Chains A and B, each alone.
Chain A
Amino acid sequence: MKVLFTTIVLFISSLCFGQHTYFYENYEFKEGFGFDSIDTRYANEEEVILYEHIAREFVVEDDGFYEYLLSHEIRYINSDKAIEENNKVYIPFGGTTKILKEECRVIKKSGISTLDKKAIRETEGDEGTRQFRYFAVESLEKGSIVEYFYIIRKNASYQGTYAYMQGSVPKQKLVYEIISPSHLVFLSKGTNGFPEPKEWQVEGEDLNFLHFEAAHIPGIKEELFANTNANKMQLIFRLGQNTARDDLMMNTYSRISDVIWGNTHTADKKEIKQLSKILKGLKLDGKELKDQIFDIEAYVKSNYSVVNNSNDELSNIKAILKNKFCNEQGIVLMLGSLYEAAGIEHEIVLSNDRFDSYLDREFDCYCFLSDYLIYFPEIDEYLQPVATLFRLGLVRDDLRGNYGLFISSTKVGEISTAISEIRAIPFDSYMTHRSDMDIQVRLSDDLDKAEVKSKRLWTGYSAVMGARYSYVNESDRKELDEALQNMQIEGMTVTKFELENEGVENVGKEPFIVHMDYESSSMLEIAGEALILKVGVVIGPQSELYQEEKRKLPVDQDNNRNYDRKIEIEIPEGYHCSNLDDLNIYAVLGEEKNPGAIFKSTYTLEGNKVEVTLIEYYTQPQVPIEDYDAFAAVVNAAADFNKVKLVFKPN
């Protein structure tokens, strides 16, 4: 959900250049992108974008500031999959967005067929619902070229955008343009090798023209443990200057801090009074600061639900208290105001999902301010208002490892001002997210199956499974149980299943624990008198990176994490085991003393009891491509352990 800066008004309309038509008003289909133009390097591709042209022209008109968006694409379609992915086109419109032009044609060796406008459908809906004009691309077949463009006029989004210049399909040629009146200067930055713009002068036009051009942008595919989007070529831009007003600081973070603070803290005395009453009911006096913060958060999250809607009522304290629901803005306002009323020092943090894009420290862009956190400097902890299942300390993992805009309020005399700075939101320690196991394995008395007693303990993200129990119905509950019982051990029967600390009230306080006993005959293979115990399966299925196609992207994981596991194996009486050394598995990324990732399993033998200790943890979510093999070795070491079999032979 994007942050709405509704209170910002942009004073630019004072300068009006009379009746302006937009630059690409007479735009037509592009010639010169036929079959001959396809570069030979794409001969075996299923799909190629031969030409893409996006132009965003910002125009000041009498009644407002608008953007004319041209989106034009010429795509070579060379497989059934490509047809299926391209045979429907949806153009967003509705509200103030108007479609000015829409054209589509399919070029085949046998000729060209152009879309009949009558075939375009349109959705209907009330204000605020998503609307589309849409059509099926007709006469599309393998080996054809589909070309379409549309131009829409919409409210200008000038406060900052990041746009992907690279996608999963290769692009032969890309043109991206930002056009604005000469007094409005857009600033831009390309990432991951996207080229600098050429500044164009167009004769007879008093326009700023940023013209970007790139050729042969390769397609980028999803890989395991990778951040595909952040590795794409991107273009970040915003309206940065209004020279007619000598304003060179437009849309910078310093401009917006007061607004954000104001939007997230009520100044209405009546509302503050109502909130104080709530605080009183929470009986916070005498509690430690951390508990006070926790209790306020728990109160709000369990009594108000977040609805994805921008209706004003949902971000107005009076209405929220009455209706019990709010939107993201509303829940931040509730929490911010409550913490302020309770006199608890806090900062409002805005950041974004790093798996979409990393917040760029050098380029101010409101596009990176899409998710709210609240930071408490005294205890150095964060909370995420909108995350119902999370509590203090736990925030969505894609927001960690990114930078954020931290806004705090300070008083100078009687006047409060908000100040902001960019700081890192660090990853949690690997010990925050634990998935531990304590397991005992023995064979049944008739030596026909394995019997397992297990205690699994989770903290951090993994413990959120337990929180879900607070929100379920009976049938969902069975599903959750079944998910926890599924160790992917064939033929297993659960004989005991007990939960400890389930429920959202335990998140961030107590670990979530599952006690489970089970038995499986498949875990025990038989070869004559020898018994083969597939003991490794008790740690459950593991991620593996055994045989990947050539790795292209560096590793970017969700979070740090730790797995402490102990397995006690009882060798049946009258048997011995001479391949216990198979339990020793080791792989490390970096130095063992301070590893980026490590897997190490060792054992001790006492009498007929084998005690296996497994250490596995990840302390470095981001691993450069040159260390990929060492990283994969650690991941695979755990997967290798999952396959360990012990052979018991009669004495």
Chain B
Amino acid sequence: MKIKLLVLAALLSLNTWAQKEVNVQLLIEEFPDESTVVLNATTDILIEYDKNAKPFIRITNEESKVYLKDNTAIRSMEVIPFSIERKLVDIEAYSYLPNGEKFKKQKIDSPVYSDDLSGSSFASDDRKATFLFPGLVKGAQSYKKTILEVHDPHRVGLEFMSDYYPVQEMLYRIEVEKGIDLEFRFFNTDFSTSDIEVVEEKKSTIYTIRLDKIKALRLEDGAPGFRSIVPHFVYTIKGYQAEEEYVRVFEDMADLHNWYCDFQKAVDLKPSSQIKAVADSIGKRHATELDRVKAIYRWVQDNIKYILVSEGDGGFQSQDPSFTCDKRYGDCKAMSTLLISLAKQLDIAFYPTWVGTRELPYSYETLPTPHTDNHMIATYFGADRKYFLDATYSKLPFGYSPPFIQGKQVMISKNCESFELAMVPVVAAEANRVSDEIVVQLNKDDFKLEGRGVFTASGLGKMEIQEYYERADFKQKFIRAILLKGENNFNLLDYTLKGMTDNDSTLVIEYTFELPNYAVKLDADVFLNLHLETPYNGDKILENRILPIEYDFKNQKYFKIEFKDFKPFRLTNVPENTQFEGPNMKYSRLLRSADNSLIMEQTVELVGLNIQPNQFDAHNEFVKKLNKTYRQSIQLILP
């Protein structure tokens, strides 16, 4: 009897991954626009002791899909990413091709293995296996199984609970050997720890996460980063009982800090002669501590080019500052340790600091693991504030933080025994101000608008312009695009630039321009819309949008137009002063007139970085008001 059962079990398990019984027609009706449906995605995660009594993780992923459309052969290619840390030990894959009432099973050719240079790293351990599912047609199914192994318990475990295709059934089964402590945290989903099915076996605990009918993932422009929107969970190995003692992995923040500190300790901080020379020179030229801090920061921004190296432990291990200084390149870790080393030469303390970019929706308290951050900076404690120094942005003004870490929590390592948490402040809108003040006249012969203006930009608004300017092939064309107003037949006659090359000063562009065919001449009247700039006028959010919108940084835009010397015309229909606000924007318009001039000032402020779906209507109301405000023209009549 026992034998029979075993045979039956074996048959059943074989059947599990034969092609599925699927009514393709019903699926097509349910998903008329989808090319593919994932029938089943199962991930088995086995965490057990290896022969050295350390946790070892084996991740087996099985997935079967059905293809619903003609032209399905274009979906044949599969790419399996892996790395040296996440070793790919096996791939098995088949197509199941309709053959009358039955299916014909066809195995894939051997996958092609190669380094994956497609990521942002100059050098990494990323590899990929690529293969093709043969023979795919409408109604065909595919099956793939991959096995990955991870030997370092610090380097697991984030799993996404979604796919680019609809998923009928998704299952995670995590089996953990007794003695190893595991913790789960869920993000962007209603699923919670209490929904996990837990079965205690003699030697292990089995956690099952079961999901079904998962909608296809839809990404939208301008949405927050992937991990801020896609449902996922993180399982953390908190610690494990080794033969003699209990070994902590990531039980709390201190463990994470200790782990990072081990990498920091491995950095050779001994200064090279170059570091000494740079520090000496800064010390000689600058007397106060803050000036020296500024100069150190600026030197690294100017002289070290960002190149990301993440091979081996490079994802966590910084190269030595002497190397960075000598070779003139490095990633965020390398730049931070160089900042620290230079400061140390002048007896100034900079502290290694970790931070997650805005894409990562975690805090150290809730998730004390390396998933929480992906970036490193240095922190300087000034007399009245902290300076978060990120040299990876070569044009960032001193005292600012780049947009992608504003509002994020940082872990500042005071020394290997202590650390402190802090928040990177979100820079206020006024600090990122762009203003454009123009004086215009109407040419009475051809009704061309002629004028001169002063454009200024500071903070991150200026940084953006500076970065683009440096890359622009045609500089004049770029400046014209910045100043363009009214319509695209805007004619820039002349300009001068100040402050474009210095990160910390305000950019000032003085210019003259003309704008033909903008004013509308009609009989004896002229119609003129003084709203030559109409920011956010087209910012209406589409009705079917699902995801929130994220902006890079708060900012303020100020436009002043002085329209003068319009006599003998007389002005009528001058618009009224107005101000209103939306969920994350504010607008105001002020007008005042004198004998032969009219001045209009507009200020638009982006005061919040996100618009949530429940604010979409209010935002659209705001944009509607903007539309109506911007469309108000003045009329000039001859008395």
**A residues in contact (CB < 8 Å) with B:** 79-81, 83-84, 87-88, 113, 121, 123-126, 128-130, 132, 134, 136, 138-141, 168, 221-222, 302-305, 307, 313, 322-325, 388, 470-475, 477-478, 482, 488, 490-493, 504, 520-522, 524-528, 530, 532, 544, 546-549, 578-579, 582, 636, 639-640, 643, 645, 647, 649
Contacts and interface: CB of A to CB of B under 8 A. Distances in A.
B632 A325 contact: no
B328 A141 contact: yes
Contact of B218 (A125, A475, A522): A475
A530 B628 contact: no
Contacts of A526: 631-633
Contact of A125 (B73, B115, B529): B115
Contacts of A132: 117
B634 A527 contact: yes
A221 to B, nearest CB: 5
A129 B114 CA distance: 7
A645 to B, nearest CB: 5
Contact of A81 (B470, B520, B525, B623): B470
A123 B115 contact: yes
A54 to B, nearest CB: 25
B470 A80 contact: yes
B517 A307 contact: no
Contact of A304 (B73, B77, B487): B73
A268 B538 CA distance: 61
Contact of B624 (A221, A324, A521): A521
B74 A87 contact: no
Nearest to B480: A547
23 contacts: A125-B112, A128-B112, A129-B112, A307-B76, A323-B134, A324-B73, A324-B76, A324-B134, A388-B71, A473-B34, A474-B218, A475-B164, A478-B218, A478-B544, A488-B538, A490-B627, A491-B623, A525-B632, A526-B631, A527-B634, A528-B635, A547-B480, A645-B520
Contact of B630 (A488, A520, A522, A640): A522
Contact of B216 (A136, A313, A474): A474
A525 B529 contact: yes
Given A475-B218, A521-B627, A139 B326 contact: yes
A549 B631 contact: no
A126 B218 contact: no
A313 B109 contact: yes
Given A79-B470, A579-B520, A645-B520, 15 more contacts: A123-B117, A125-B115, A136-B307, A136-B327, A305-B76, A322-B135, A325-B73, A471-B35, A475-B217, A525-B527, A525-B633, A527-B573, A527-B634, A547-B491, A578-B522
A482 B34 contact: no
B36 interface: yes
A307 B77 contact: yes
Contacts of A313: 109
A521 B164 contact: no
* Complex A-B, nearest 3 residue pairs according to Cβ-Cβ distance, in ascending order: A125-B114, A305-B73, A528-B573
A363 to B, nearest CB: 32
B627 A141 contact: no
Interface of B: 31, 33-36, 69-71, 73-74, 76-77, 106, 109, 112-115, 117, 122-123, 127, 132, 134-137, 164-165, 216-219, 303, 305, 307, 311, 326-329, 394, 470-471, 473-474, 476-477, 480, 487-492, 517, 520-523, 525, 527, 529, 534, 537-538, 540, 542, 544, 572-573, 623-624, 627-628, 630-635
Contacts of A134: 122
A313 B108 CA distance: 13
A530 B520 CA distance: 12
Contact of A87 (B76, B77, B307): B307
Contacts of A472: 33, 35
B487 A504 contact: no
A544 B480 CA distance: 14
Contacts of B490: 546-547
Contact of B489 (A492, A524, A643): A643
A182 B470 CA distance: 50
Contacts of A524: 631
B471 A138 contact: no
A123 B114 contact: yes
B113 A125 contact: yes
A475 to B, nearest CB: 4
Given A124-B114, A579-B520, A645-B520, A138 B634 contact: no
B71 A81 contact: no
Nearest to B628: A521
B134 A140 contact: no
B135 A527 contact: no
B527 A530 contact: yes
Contact of B33 (A222, A474, A582, A640): A474
Given A302-B71, A471-B71, A482-B542, A477 B135 contact: no
